[in-house]
Amino acid sequence: MKIHKYDTVIVGAGGAGMRAAIEATKLSRTAVLTKLYPTRSHTGAAQGGMAAALANVEDDNWEWHTFDTVKGGDYLVDQDAAEILAKEAIDAVLDLEKMGLPFNRTPDGTIDQRRFGGHSRNHGEAPVRRSCYAADRTGHMILQTLYQNCVKEGVEFFNEFYVLDQLLVEEDGVKKSAGVVAYELATGEIHVFQAKSVIYASGGTGKFFKVTSNAHTLTGDGQAACYRRGLPLEDMEFFQFHPTGIWRMGILLTEGARGEGGILRNKDGERFMEKYAPVMKDLASRDVVSRSIYTEIREGRGCGPAGDHVYLDLTHLPPEQLDAKLPDITEFARTYLGIEPYTDPIPIQPTAHYAMGGIPTNVEGEVLADNTTVVPGLYAAGEVACVSVHGANRLGTNSLLDINVFGKRSGIAAAKYAHANDYVALPENPAQQVIDLVERLRDSTGNERVADLRLELQETMDACVMVFRTEQTIKTAVEKIAELRERYKNVSVQDKGKRFNTDLLEAIELGNLLDLAEVMAVSALARKESRGGHYREDYPNRDDVNFMRHTMAYREVGDDGKDSVRLDYKPVVVTRYQPMERKY
């Protein structure tokens, strides 16, 4: 076991982690731990753009953006945080441009902007061009630009280091962060990183679904590490299903395709979104569009032999426009489906895309131990966190924005904290929990296989807690997850070695997914209303009286050693906007 000492440790090297690192490394001795290489992070798969009311091409302002974010999140958004997001968006985009990001340009040479779902002029009058973009590879450009600037600033990376435990130590009656424990993939060695401040920026947890736009590596490792140490997870029942994933595969086809004029059609060729969202049509918020697609499918108007998908139609757009604005997604259609988007419609279905919930933080990125108490020295930003700027449903282009605004804020806050505070003493045997976990899985001779359990989990989640949910389907999921967690105790791996043992890491990742799936299902079962991405057929209306509040889920261990999820609730911060009926 090796022990390292840094002022600030950042867990994850996607957009939020690297944006934080660029700030933190200027102010404190910083290490970035990533289970991949920085440029492999899933920020790179984001396509459509980053919202900011630059008003480069038409009238816009941050207040309209704030309203759209609050409405898009179905009034579960903390409005003070949304206001910060929308206001600081403008500098966040300009910062990236100055760092070198190659945005598409207007004829005047300023940053070009395009339409995106849920973003509107003057509180819902009509779509507005707010998304700053670089073709359909905006996330790729952000990831590359941030990595380039990390190289420029000399940021220290530990690549292929898996953070598996968060060290919390009680000091003067307060739980504080003492550091993290990591597993080095290349050697199997365990490393303890003692740090004055720790920032989680480790991304989402989409791999508990089968049809998902998420990378294989998005397994909720940061959420699970904190949850197991008794910290809450907020609003985990809210998961976004992006309307346009490639049929069966789930690969993302950007909403920018509809921003450029693409149209969703059913088997009769009908532009069905006109029925569900008369003003915004195909550019309604993602939860609305995904439900509309499944309504069409359920009512027999789906496409293909099984009627299980609909079409994204780009055939009326000029090929030059597709080449210039949507080169990657049109290539995906050619590569993976063998069809030509110039002339053929693309089969799509909703795909599990984004966790609105996560580790609760305040607007400085400080992690909360309950509704109000901060954990000194612990921060989170990006998809792993819940500020909450996305509420019950995130707007497209607000996640690339979130990682930049709150990545920067948490990087500055964590580095300043490291300056003002001393190390917290490490607990005795700080790596013991990780050593036990690794040895148990490596030595296990149980007869359950990781791939079997993972597939059963994914199929259960797709069937039971996707776009439409009922008490019955969620209960089925809760029971199945409990069974899988029990069987997980008998899981074993074939690779017993220390060198690049990805077999072992997949087993650990599955354990994370199972714990988080349980939190999600239990949280969803208790929310007897429909709001944003959480739609209950048995409670089809939003219930502001009883449920305009955040879910806070805690892990509790009983006297018998068994763990369970305990739910509590936290009020929503309302500043400017009282809840209204949500129409697009």
Interacting positions 320-359 with another protein (CB under 8 A)? 328, 332, 335-340, 343-347
Residues with a catalytic annotation lie at 286
498 near another protein, rule: CB under 8 A = yes
Please state the separation of Cα 517 from the chain's center in Å.
Answer: 14
Closer Cβ to another protein, 65 or 176, answer by number: 65
Q: Is 269 in the site for another protein (CB under 8 A)?
A: yes
Q: How far is the CB of 229 from another protein (least distance, A)?
A: 26
Written as six digits, the tokens of 404 are 């930049």
User: Closer to another protein at the Cβ: 315 or 476?
Assistant: 315
The residue count of the chain comes to 584
Q: Determine if 567 is a binding residue for another protein (CB under 8 A).
A: no
* Long-range own/partner contacts, residues 464-468 (CB < 8 A, 24 or more apart): 464/521, 465/239, 465/520, 465/521, 465/524, 466/209, 466/241, 466/350, 466/352, 467/241, 467/290, 467/291, 467/294, 467/350, 467/535, 468/291, 468/294, 468/535, 468/537
Q: Does 490 bind another protein (CB under 8 A)?
A: no
User: Which residue's CB is nearer to another protein, number 86 or number 150?
Assistant: 150
Considering only the stretches 23-31, 364-372, 497-505, 548-556, report the one whose residues sit in contact with another protein under the rule CB under 8 A. Answer: 497-505
Q: How far is the CB of 271 from another protein (least distance, A)?
A: 10
DSSP 539: B
Minimum separation from the CB atom of position 499 to another protein (A): 5
Nearest one of 181, 228, 235, 200 to 427, comparing CA atoms = 181
Residue type, 249: M
Residues in region 91-110 near another protein by CB under 8 A: 93-94, 97-100, 102-110
140 binds another protein (CB under 8 A): yes
Assess 129 for contact with another protein (CB under 8 A). no
Prior bond of 131 cis (ω within 30°): no
Closest CA to 283 of 137, 69, 120, 104: 120
Q: Which of 16, 31, 36, 381: binder of another protein (CB under 8 A)?
A: 36
Q: Is 57 in the site for another protein (CB under 8 A)?
A: no
Q: Is residue 488 a contact point for another protein (CB under 8 A)?
A: no
Pick from 121, 169, 229, 500 the residue near another protein by CB under 8 A. Answer: 500
C-beta separation of 516 from 205 below 8 A: yes
Q: Is 55 in the site for another protein (CB under 8 A)?
A: no
Residue 117 within binding range of another protein, rule CB under 8 A = no
| DSSP H/E element including 94 | helix 79-99
Cα gap 366→7, rounded to integer Å: 16
Query: Is residue 22 near another protein by the rule CB under 8 A?
Result: no
Choice between 92 and 236, CB closer to another protein: 92
Asked whether position 141 contacts another protein by CB under 8 A, the answer is yes
Pick one of 2, 26, 123, 216: the residue that binds another protein (CB under 8 A): 216
41 makes contact with another protein (CB under 8 A): yes
Give burial (CB, 10 Å; 0-12/13-18/19+) of 434: buried
How many helices and strands (H and E) does the chain possess? 16, 20
> Does residue 304 interact with another protein by CB under 8 A?
yes
For residue 241, the minimal CB distance to another protein (Å) is: 18
Q: Which of 428, 445, 499, 541 binds another protein (CB under 8 A)?
A: 499
221's tokens: 């490792």
By C-beta, is 5 or 40 nearer to another protein? Answer: 40
Asked if 379 and 406 touch (Cβ cutoff 8 Å), the reply is: no
Is 519 a binder of another protein (CB under 8 A)? no
Among 10, 22, 111, 283, interactor with another protein by CB under 8 A: 111
Is 42 near another protein (CB under 8 A)?
yes
Name the minimum Å distance from CB 298 to another protein. Answer: 19
Cβ atoms of 264 and 311 closer than 8 Å: yes
Q: Which 235-264 residues touch another protein, going by CB under 8 A? A: 247-249, 251
Alpha-carbon distances, residue 525 vs 474, 483, 488 (angstroms): 6, 17, 23
Tokens of 240: 């976004």
Q: Binders of another protein: how many residues, by CB under 8 A?
A: 76
SS3 33: strand
Q: Are 437 and 508 in contact (CB under 8 A)?
A: yes
Token pair in block for residue 15: 């957009």
From residue 171, how far is each of 174, 231, 358, 424 by CA, in Å? 5, 16, 26, 8
Bridge partner residues of 111 (DSSP): 105
Query: Stretches 300-308, 394-402, 464-472, 570-578: which one binds another protein (CB under 8 A)?
Result: 300-308
- Judged by CB under 8 A, does residue 473 bind another protein? no
Q: Does 495 bind another protein (CB under 8 A)?
A: yes
Which pair of structure tokens corresponds to residue 360? 């609760």
Residues numbered 168-207 forming contacts with another protein, rule: CB under 8 A: 186
Task: Say whether residue 114 binds another protein (CB under 8 A).
Answer: no
Q: How far is the CB of 461 from another protein (least distance, A)?
A: 18
Q: Which of 151, 174, 425, 580 binds another protein (CB under 8 A)?
A: 151
Binding-site member from 63, 184, 503, 543 for another protein (CB under 8 A) = 503
